[in-house]
Amino acid sequence: MLVEVLPTVNIGICLFSSVCWWKYFQLLTVSVLANRNTQKLGLSIYLKLLTRMFNISQKYFVYSLFNAQKMVNVSYALTLSSSMIPYSCSPQDDKLFESMALSMFGIKDTLNFDSFSKWLAQHCPHMFSGVHNWVHQILTGSKMPSELETAPFPLLERFVEGKHCMSMGMLWALSATIPYQYTHSAKEDAAQQDTSSGFKNPLLTSYHLLMKLAHLSGCQSWTLLYDSCEHGLSLNRFTHHISSYNGPTITLISFEGRNMYCVAEDKGWSEGPSRFGEEDMMIIQLTSAYRVVQAKIISPRIFGGPMVLWNEHERSLPQGIKIGKDDKSAVLFIPSDFDKIQHYGVNCCLTRIEVWGCGGTEAKKAQQKQKQWERKDIEKHRGRKLKLETNWNENPDKQLLNWGGIQTDHQHSREGGF
């Protein structure tokens, strides 16, 4: 029940006191029963109806900071409710939601609808997906198998609240921001297309159209690959745990000043003298302000493409991990010693790094298989011993070394001793 999900929150004030919610219910009901495509009705209409209930003036769409925080909290809570996940909100989540609200306003005291829409499209485009799905479930009462198998955000394997940098609120915020491939695999997409291609029932067809708006199809679980608190804060341990993982990853970097960044890498980590990453890579600041720092081009100031340089051996380049589109726009740099971090060139104390694998079970199994092969190969070479089947004086290798100008006959090895 919703009451169990939202303890201490006045639901009547937050949700049903506004006539906009009833308009939203009516519009969505007509869309479902009449089998209309919600996109034809205009997604901006839904967005206005969803956001208007939180504003100060029902006429001019003016928001306060308090109402913006309430909007973020309610959206998160309803997303959990639609996923049948017990409500939880840690102090870390409260800081994150506060950062999201502050990011909407910037240096302004009030926020109008146009400014909020621009912020939403750039920094958190799927914030209301869970809200929309919750309303749809209330209207239809639908409990189809595809609903039971999906969630608005991925599940975290071996996750314990309060033990990791990641939290439930952070997971919700990231899933509302990052591209599709971090939460869905290609096989799940193909299976879903095969399943949905046979639906001809008008209600089911309308449901799948609405699910596109709700951003709820075939989510997969994330696996913890590396945690500096558990595995050790060093480049060696970092390399050991993330190497050979070829799926997308989410890397959380925490350092002094309540700063935390997320590096969403759409390819496996690769050490070398050049940057790696493709168009779905993102750099997101989580606290003390929530914003997409660099990503694929959605505005003149946002970038895309390779953003991470991981160098250990090239002497002409700084050794460590540099995060940013290029040297001029570098956001973070972690030296190979892992003892500090540079934030826009300013040295800070590095506190924690956490890496989550988003490639599903197949990517994790492939990594484990590669690690097993590497261990066997090391053991194989470790047991190999050099055996001189002939006298060294008659060995052809000795003759080759002599031809190369390397002295092989030392005084202590000659007959007769010293």
- How much is the pLDDT for 142? 64
- How much is the pLDDT for 42? 47
Domain boundary among the residues 341, 362, 383 is at 362
- How much is the pLDDT for 52? 63
The answer to whether position 407 is within a domain reads no
Whether residue 203 is found in the same domain as residue 290:
no
- How much is the pLDDT for 379? 80
Whether residue 227 is found in the same domain as residue 288:
yes
Whether residue 210 is found in the same domain as residue 245:
no
- pLDDT, mean of each 10-residue run, the chain (418 residues): 37 42 52 46 58 57 77 87 84 93 88 84 86 74 45 70 88 89 65 45 44 49 92 94 92 94 92 90 93 75 78 91 89 94 95 93 88 84 62 75 75 45
The answer to whether position 208 is within a domain reads yes
Domain boundary among the residues 214, 237, 264 is at 214
**Domains of the chain: total:** 2
The answer to whether position 325 is within a domain reads yes
Whether residue 203 is found in the same domain as residue 345:
no
Whether residue 121 is found in the same domain as residue 60:
yes
Whether residue 292 is found in the same domain as residue 186:
no
Whether residue 227 is found in the same domain as residue 204:
no
The answer to whether position 413 is within a domain reads no
The answer to whether position 243 is within a domain reads yes
The answer to whether position 237 is within a domain reads yes
The answer to whether position 236 is within a domain reads yes
- How much is the pLDDT for 412? 47
Whether residue 169 is found in the same domain as residue 54:
yes
Whether residue 251 is found in the same domain as residue 203:
no
Whether residue 124 is found in the same domain as residue 71:
yes
Whether residue 165 is found in the same domain as residue 229:
no
- How much is the pLDDT for 213? 44
Domain boundary among the residues 188, 214, 240 is at 214
Question: What is the span of the domain harbouring residue 346?
Answer: 223-362
pTM of the model: 0.76
Whether residue 275 is found in the same domain as residue 336:
yes
The answer to whether position 176 is within a domain reads yes
SS (H, E, C) the chain: CHHHHCCCCCHHHHHHCCHHHHHHHHHHHHHHHCCCCHHHHCHHHHHHHHHHCCCCECCCCEECHHHHHHHHHHHHHHHHHHCCCCCCCCHHHHHHHHHHHHHHHCCCCCEEHHHHHHHHHHHCCCCCHHHHHHHHHHHHCCCCHHHHCCCCCCCECCCCCCCCCCCHHHHHHHHCCCCHHHCCCHHHHHHHHHHHCCCCCHHHHHHHHHHHHHCCCCCCCEEEEEEHHHHCCCHHHHHHHHCCCCCCEEEEEEECCCEEEEEEECCCCCCCCCCECCCCCEEEEEECCCEEEECCCCCCCCCCCCCEEEECCCCCCCCEEEEECCCCCEEEEEECCCCCEEECCEEECEEEEEEEECCHHHHHHHHHHHHHHHHHHHHHHHCCCCCCCCCHHHCHHHHHHHHCCCCCCCHHHCCCCC
